């Protein structure tokens, strides 16, 4: 842990150094831009005014805008303007501003041989040279000096005389040179050279010691939940799906622990469902196979006569087995994401009417009134799969409705697509039963046999088939009043 703390301290120092360098570079860039802004504004004032009078408002405005102290003095030290007159001036001026030479300029051409940069001083020089007969042409928007000076002795004398004359004339036309001060004296800032490095070293050691203590504390807080989580993961990998870890707090480890607990809970529920499903499948297969085996052995021994009744019983059990195997296959395909549907435009009114017609005899035998309210609807569905959904829902409704009850099948268009509802006045479901009605091998009445209670997977298959079409299925029920199963399908 000490090594970790040292590495952390070193990394912090490196990052701090890099950030400090970057900050210093940024500050230097900003300071240079600010200094250029101040210099140009003050020079422009001196050029336009020809004097340094009324400089205070400009200096105060610049100081407020750039958040720095600005002072301008004559060369002899007399203060012309100062944004903070109570503070002493820095020891050295930041720059000396001379309007005669520093102001931005245009370019001029002297004869055919020499090119000069024209600032206020050179404007005076050009006027003088022009007055002495030398050809001078002003070229604007150029700011560089180029060309060679090729003049005879007389022209050189004229050029020298004009230099002196321009300097004397300009001194009476523009503001005189001034010193520019920016900021405060060095004494007003932190003097790093005066620091006691012994004290600095002690402070650094104190920070390092504090870092070590905090590192040990944080490491304990981090390693403990990590160790618990690692142990729990190993136990889950070994098959103990009941493992959970404390999930205190909303931090990273708290969220990680919550995610692990949720995953473990889902695995445990999945394993319980798998175990229950295997047991349910074995039970569902055992009963029809037992009936088939018992009746066949009885017929072999001459106990049962091979008559129509025996053949019907054996046929019923084989049909039940066939349907069960088909349902299980469809559920397996759904689990694997391979439950295919062959979509085609289908007249749902005709399809549903056909299924209802096939169940009228069963409804009549059960004493259940069967009615329909079907709207003409064309939708893109798999007719075989949807017929299976309607068949399962209708068979369940008839099976769970007492004699004298009623089953209605309704079909209508909606803004979202198609709505199919099977409404019965049967025994109904409790809220808890409604939560489980689509679970595999679950029956509302566990005491009912397969002839009245189905195989326990019909509604599970319905749900998977509806989902494969991009639809939904839901139930609304009240115990003793009946149930309404509603299927919503997209039109296309």
pLDDT one-digit tens code per residue, 160-198: 777 777 666 666 666 788 999 998 775 444 444 454 556
Q: What are the tokens at 284? A: 């569902």
Name every residue whose Cβ is closer than 8 Å to that of residue 306 and which is 6 or more positions away in sequence.
Answer: 299
Interatomic CA distance for residues 477 and 222, integer angstroms: 51
CATH number for the region 197-337 comes to: 1.10.287.130
Both tokens assigned to 264: 């473990």
Please report the pLDDT score of residue 484 as a whole number.
95
H/E element, 373 = strand 369-374
Distance of alpha carbon 143 from alpha carbon 124, whole angstroms: 17
| Cα separations in angstroms, 430 against 411, 434, 475, 479 | 26, 6, 11, 6
Pairing of strands 344-347, 114-118: unpaired
Encoded tokens for 35: 């200094």
Distance CA 68, CA 82 (A): 11
| 400 close to 426: Cβ distance less than 8 angstroms | yes
Q: Which helix (H) or strand (E) holds 26?
A: helix 2-49
Q: What is the pTM of this model?
A: 0.44
- Domain residue extents for the chain: 2-99+181-194, 100-177, 197-337, 340-490
* CA dihedral (447, 449, 452, 457) positive or negative: positive
Token digits of residue 90: 């820095």
Tokens of 434: 């409604």
Beta 369-374 vs 406-413: how paired, if at all?
parallel
Please write down the long-range contacts of 428-432, taking CB distance under 8 Å and 24 or more positions apart: 428/477, 428/478, 428/479, 428/480, 428/481, 428/482, 428/483, 429/475, 429/477, 429/479, 429/483, 430/479
Q: What is the 3-state secondary structure (H, E, C) of 426-441?
A: CCCCCHHHHHHCCCCC
Cα angle: 334, vertex 340, 342; to 5 degrees: 150
Is it true that 197-337 and 340-490 share their CATH fold?
Answer: no
Residue 150: φ, ψ to 5°: -125, 90
- Would you state the pLDDT for residue 23? 59
Instruction: Answer whether 79's CB lies under 8 Å from 73's CB.
Output: yes
Burial (CB count <10 Å: 0-12, 13-18, 19+), residue 280: middle
Residues 6+ positions from 130 with CB-CB distance below 8 Å: 136
CB 68 within 8 A of CB 35: no
Please name which of 114, 103, 77 lies closest in space to residue 92, comparing C-alpha atoms: 77
Burial of 358 (0-12, 13-18, 19+ CB in 10 A): middle
CATH T-level topology, domain 340-490 = Heat Shock Protein 90 (3.30.565)
Q: For every one of its 492 residues, what pLDDT tens digit does the chain have, with 9 covering 90 and above?
A: 445 555 555 555 455 555 555 655 666 677 788 888 888 888 878 777 778 888 899 999 999 998 899 999 998 889 999 999 998 998 888 888 887 666 544 343 444 444 444 456 666 667 777 777 765 554 433 333 343 445 566 766 777 777 777 666 666 666 788 999 998 775 444 444 454 556 656 766 777 777 767 766 666 566 677 777 888 888 888 888 888 888 776 677 778 888 888 888 888 877 776 776 677 677 667 767 887 888 888 888 888 888 888 888 888 878 877 877 777 777 777 777 767 888 999 999 999 999 999 999 989 999 999 999 999 999 999 998 899 899 889 988 999 999 999 999 999 999 889 999 999 999 999 998 888 888 876 666 544 444 444 555 678 888 988 999 999 999 999 998 999 999 999 988
For 479, the token pair is 């115990």
In the DSSP assignment, the letter for residue 429 is -
Residue 110's pLDDT is 42
Phi, psi angles (nearest 5°) of residue 475: -130, 140
H/E stretch holding 483: strand 482-490
Closest CA to 418 of 392, 386, 396: 386
Q: Helix, strand, or coil here: 193? A: helix
């Amino acid at each position: 842990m000490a090594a970790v703390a040292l590495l952390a301290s070193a990394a912090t120092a490196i990052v701090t150094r890099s950030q400090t360098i970057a900050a210093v570079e940024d500050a230097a860039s900003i300071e240079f831009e600010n200094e250029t802004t101040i210099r140009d504004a003050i020079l422009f004032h001196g050029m336009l005014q020809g004097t340094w009078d009324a400089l205070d408002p400009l200096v105060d405005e610049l100081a407020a805008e750039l958040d720095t102290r600005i002072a301008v003095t004559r060369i002899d030290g007399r203060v012309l303007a100062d944004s903070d007159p109570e503070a002493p001036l820095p020891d050295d001026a930041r720059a000396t501003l001379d309007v005669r030479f520093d102001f931005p300029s245009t370019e001029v051409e002297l004869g055919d041989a020499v090119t000069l940069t024209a600032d206020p001083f050179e404007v005076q020089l050009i006027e003088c040279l022009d007055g002495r007969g030398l050809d001078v042409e002003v070229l604007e928007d150029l700011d560089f000096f180029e060309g060679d000076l090729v003049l005879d002795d007389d022209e050189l004398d004229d050029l020298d005389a004009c230099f002196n004359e321009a300097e004397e004339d300009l001194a009476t036309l523009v503001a005189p040179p001034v010193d520019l001060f920016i900021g405060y004296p060095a004494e007003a800032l932190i003097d790093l050279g005066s620091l006691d490095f012994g004290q600095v070293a002690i402070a650094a050691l104190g920070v390092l010691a504090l870092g070590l203590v905090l590192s040990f504390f944080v490491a304990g807080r981090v390693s403990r939940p990590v160790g618990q989580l690692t142990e729990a993961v190993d136990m889950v990998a070994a098959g103990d799906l009941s493992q959970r870890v404390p999930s205190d707090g909303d931090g990273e480890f708290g969220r990680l622990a919550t995610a692990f607990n949720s995953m473990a809970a889902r695995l445990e529920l999945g394993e319980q469902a798998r175990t229950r499903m295997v047991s349910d499948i074995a039970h569902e297969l055992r009963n029809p196979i037992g009936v088939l085996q018992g009746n066949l052995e009885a017929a072999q021994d001459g106990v049962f006569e091979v008559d129509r009744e025996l053949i019907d019983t054996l046929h019923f059990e084989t049909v039940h087995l066939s349907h069960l195997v088909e349902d299980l296959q469809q559920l397996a395909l759904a689990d694997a994401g391979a439950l295919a549907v062959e979509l085609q435009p289908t007249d749902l009114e005709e399809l549903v009417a056909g299924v209802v017609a096939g169940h009228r005899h069963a409804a009549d035998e059960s004493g259940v009134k069967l009615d329909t309210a079907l709207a003409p609807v064309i939708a893109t569905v798999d007719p075989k799969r949807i017929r299976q959904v309607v068949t399962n829902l209708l068979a369940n409704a008839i099976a769970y409705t007492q004699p004298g009850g009623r089953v209605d099948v309704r079909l209508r268009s909606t803004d979202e697509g198609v709505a199919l509802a099977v409404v019965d006045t049967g025994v109904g479901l409790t809220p808890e039963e409604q939560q489980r009605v689509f679970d595999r091998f679950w029956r509302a009445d566990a005491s009912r046999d397969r002839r009245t209670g189905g195989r326990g997977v019909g509604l599970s298959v319905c749900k998977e088939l509806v989902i494969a079409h991009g639809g939904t299925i839901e139930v609304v029920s009240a115990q003793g009043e009946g149930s309404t199963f509603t299927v919503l399908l997209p039109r296309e």
